């Protein structure tokens, strides 16, 4: 990252090679439009190229920061366009199948990220379906708690509780990853 | 909004699911509350990991070419002094020196402006200086408190070199990736010198803080977020204020992390 400050194109190329697919996947899953997702990837990476200091190190390591940027940008996009795509929640088993294979070496991901992915999928699989559903609607669907309550025809208090309990469980299951994030 | 309200809301906030007014109230509270700020950070890191659950879709090859070509076009335009090829060749220390020089020039100009304004508004100048000094002290106290308040704060007492009588303690939080050095009885500085705090990484030493002090005491906050490698030790030496790539003399205070 530091090399980007000095407009090191080779460093930028490496950064894209490492995380380009991850950012694209995140944007695509949320906006559900390949062209729009590509525009976002371009915007995100070029913004990073112009302003590498926009990376806020205190918010975790670079890859998770970058995908958060992609997620937030994509959610802003669908909110501003009022294009709400129903987030199709795939089961962890389905997602495992969609992945090149979490057991094989994925050239697009570092080993650390691939390990993290396995743990995140396992943590999500360990959640009760109703908790997982509200978390995914919020994070990937860009819905507020109020909107989720309306969507699911559930009381707002129930949605809040599900989010809180689900996130608590995720935090507990992902503690080693969060430590890694903080390292 | 109080700490209890924040606790109730922070997971929804981290997921981007809080209502706008609630989010704003939470942000206001967390800005001034170290503990809530920490909790919020952790919730946000948890939320960020969720994106890793998505199936990976390869981005089209043409996209990579477009982005790199645009980046290339931008780098070939005339840019600031920082990006001059000679600086790129000279690498980090020279670029850092250029940074320092540019910053010093900016500071000098700012100081010049300040004096001009102060000539016209003496009272305000005094007041501003007091406020600024207080703000600086407060900011350091806030940083120190943030490190102290971290649930994983660790302490390491630095040992003085033979003949030195300095005292130094290093506190750090792996969680918030911040550190704080406190020193007293430090050796006297000559004009143009600073106390330089180093993190030792094998054969290398990474300068992490410079302290100017006239009374033999010093404290410095350290942002460890960009440090990828685990340091083996911490040391403090007297260096020229212009900066040094590595300690020019034996650190007068040192401690090893190997005992952790």
Q: Are B40 and A57 in contact (CB under 8 A)?
A: no
pLDDT tens-digit series, residues B158-198? 888 888 888 888 888 888 888 888 888 899 888 888 999 99
Considering only CA atoms, give the Rg of chain B.
23
Per-residue pLDDT at B88: 35
Q: Min CA distance, B211 vs chain A (Å)?
A: 23
Please check the confidence at residue B98 and state whether its pLDDT lies above 80. Answer: no
Per-residue pLDDT at A33: 87
Which residues of chain B make contact with A90, given a CB cutoff of 8 A?
Answer: 55
Which residues of chain A make contact with B48, given a CB cutoff of 8 A?
Answer: 59-60, 64-65, 67-68, 71
CB contact under 8 A, B53 and A117: yes
| Mean pLDDT, chain A, whole residue set | 77
Say how many Å lie between the first and final Cα of chain A, rounded.
Answer: 16
pLDDT tens-digit series, residues B123-141? 555 555 555 655 666 666 6
Percent of chain B with pLDDT over 90: 12
Lowest mean pLDDT among A78-82, A177-181, B84-88, B90-94: B84-88
CB contact under 8 A, B67 and A45: yes
CB contact under 8 A, A6 and B74: no
pTM, two decimal places: 0.53
CB contact under 8 A, B79 and A20: no
Q: Average pLDDT of B53-65?
A: 85
In sequence order, the β-bridge partners of residue A124 are: none
Please check the confidence at residue B13 and state whether its pLDDT lies above 90. Answer: yes
Question: Could you count the other beta carbons within 10 Å of the beta carbon of residue B108?
Answer: 10
Per-residue pLDDT at B197: 92
Per-residue pLDDT at A43: 92
- Distance CA(B96)–CA(A140), nearest Å, equals 40
Nearest CA in chain B to A6: B83
Per-residue pLDDT at A7: 57
Per-residue pLDDT at A151: 92
Q: Average pLDDT of A129-136?
A: 94
pLDDT tens-digit series, residues A6-26? 457 777 888 888 888 889 988
For residues B45 and B151, the model is more confident at: B45
Closest in B56, B68, B87 to A16, CB measured: B68
Per-residue pLDDT at B104: 57
Which residues of chain A make contact with B52, given a CB cutoff of 8 A?
Answer: 64, 67, 113, 116-117, 120
Tokens (6 digits) for A128: 């009760």
Of the pLDDT bands very low, low, confident and very high (cuts 50, 70, 90), residue A152 is very high
Per-residue pLDDT at A126: 92
Q: Min CA distance, A9 vs chain B (Å)?
A: 7
Residue B219 backbone phi and psi in degrees, to 5: -145, 150
Residues 6+ apart with CB under 8 A from A141: A30, A84, A85, A86, A87, A148
Closest in B17, B18, B46 to A178, CB measured: B46
CB contact under 8 A, B15 and A13: no
Which residues of chain A make contact with B41, given a CB cutoff of 8 A?
Answer: 58-59
Closest in B16, B41, B52 to A75, CB measured: B16
For residues A93 and B136, the model is more confident at: B136
Q: How many residues can be counted in chain A?
A: 183
Per-residue pLDDT at A103: 35
Q: How many CA atoms lie within 13 A of A32 on its CB side?
A: 11
- Distance CA(A168)–CA(A165), nearest Å, equals 5
SS3 assignment for A39-93: HHHHHHHHHHHHCHHHCCHHHCCHHHHHHHHHHHHHHHHHHHCCCCCCCCCCCHH
Per-residue pLDDT at B136: 63
Nearest CA in chain B to A97: B55
Per-residue pLDDT at A88: 47
Q: Are A122 and A93 in contact (CB under 8 A)?
A: no
Per-residue pLDDT at A97: 42
Which residues of chain B make contact with A35, given a CB cutoff of 8 A?
Answer: none
Residues 6+ apart with CB under 8 A from B118: B124, B125
Lowest mean pLDDT among A129-138, A166-175, B206-215: B206-215
Please check the confidence at residue B110 and state whether its pLDDT lies above 70. Answer: no
Closest in A139, A144, A177 to B18, CB measured: A144
Nearest CA in chain A to B67: A42
Residues 6+ apart with CB under 8 A from B14: A167, B40, B43, B44, B46, B47
Q: What is the ipTM of this complex?
A: 0.79
Torsion of CA B65, B66, B68, B74, to 10 degrees: 150
Of the pLDDT bands very low, low, confident and very high (cuts 50, 70, 90), residue B87 is very low
| Mean pLDDT, chain B, whole residue set | 77
CB contact under 8 A, B48 and A67: yes
E strand segments, chain B: 154-160, 167-173, 178-184, 193-201, 204-211, 218-223, 233-240, 253-256
Please check the confidence at residue A122 and state whether its pLDDT lies above 50. Answer: yes
Residues 6+ apart with CB under 8 A from A112: A180
Find which of A24-38, A143-157, B215-229 is predicted with most confidence, using mean pLDDT: A143-157
Per-residue pLDDT at B174: 84
Per-residue pLDDT at A100: 36
Which residues of chain A make contact with B223, given a CB cutoff of 8 A?
Answer: 57-58
Q: Exposed, middle or buried, A130 (CB in 10 Å: 0-12/13-18/19+)?
A: middle
CB contact under 8 A, B48 and A42: no
């Amino acid at each position: 990252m530091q090399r980007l400050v000095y407009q090191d194109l080779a460093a930028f190329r490496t950064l894209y090679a490492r995380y380009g697919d991850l950012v694209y996947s995140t944007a695509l899953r949320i906006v559900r439009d390949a062209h729009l997702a590509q525009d976002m990837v371009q915007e995100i990476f070029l913004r990073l190229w112009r302003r590498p200091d926009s990376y806020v190190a205190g918010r975790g390591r670079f890859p998770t920061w970058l995908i958060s940027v992609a997620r937030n940008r994509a959610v802003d996009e669908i909110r501003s366009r009022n294009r709400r795509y129903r987030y199709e929640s795939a089961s962890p088993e389905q997602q495992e199948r969609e992945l090149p294979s979490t057991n094989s070496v994925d050239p697009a991901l570092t080993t650390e990220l691939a390990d993290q992915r396995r743990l995140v999928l396992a943590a999500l699989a360990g959640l009760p379906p109703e908790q997982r559903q509200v978390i995914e609607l919020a994070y990937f669907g860009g819905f507020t708690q109020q909107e989720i309550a309306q969507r699911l025809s559930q009381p707002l208090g129930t949605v809040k509780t599900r989010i809180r309990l689900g996130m608590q469980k995720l935090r507990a299951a992902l503690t080693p990853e969060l430590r890694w994030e903080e390292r | 909004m109080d700490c209890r309200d924040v606790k109730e809301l922070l997971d929804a906030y981290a997921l981007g699911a809080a209502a706008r007014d609630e989010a704003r109230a939470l942000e206001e509270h967390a800005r001034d509350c170290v503990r809530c700020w920490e909790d919020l950070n952790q919730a946000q890191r948890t939320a960020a990991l969720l994106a890793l659950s998505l199936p990976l879709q390869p981005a089209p090859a043409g996209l990579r070419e477009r982005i790199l070509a645009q980046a290339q076009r931008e780098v070939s335009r005339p840019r600031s002094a920082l990006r001059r090829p000679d600086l790129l060749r000279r690498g980090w220390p020279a670029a850092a020196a250029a940074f320092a020089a540019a910053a010093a020039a900016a500071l000098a100009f700012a100081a010049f402006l300040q004096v001009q304004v102060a000539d016209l508004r003496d009272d305000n100048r005094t007041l501003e200086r007091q406020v600024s000094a207080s703000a600086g002290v407060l900011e350091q106290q806030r940083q120190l408190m943030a490190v102290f308040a971290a649930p994983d704060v660790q302490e390491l007492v630095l040992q003085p070199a033979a003949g030195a009588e300095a005292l130094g303690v290093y506190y750090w939080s792996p969680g918030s990736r911040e550190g704080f050095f406190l020193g007293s009885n430090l050796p006297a500085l000559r004009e143009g010198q600073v106390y330089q705090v180093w993190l030792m990484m094998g054969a290398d030493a990474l300068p992490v803080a410079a302290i100017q002090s006239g009374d033999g005491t010093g404290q410095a906050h350290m942002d460890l977020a960009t440090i990828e490698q685990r340091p083996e030790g911490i040391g403090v030496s007297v260096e020229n204020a212009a900066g040094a790539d590595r300690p020019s003399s034996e650190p007068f205070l040192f401690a090893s992390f190997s005992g952790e």
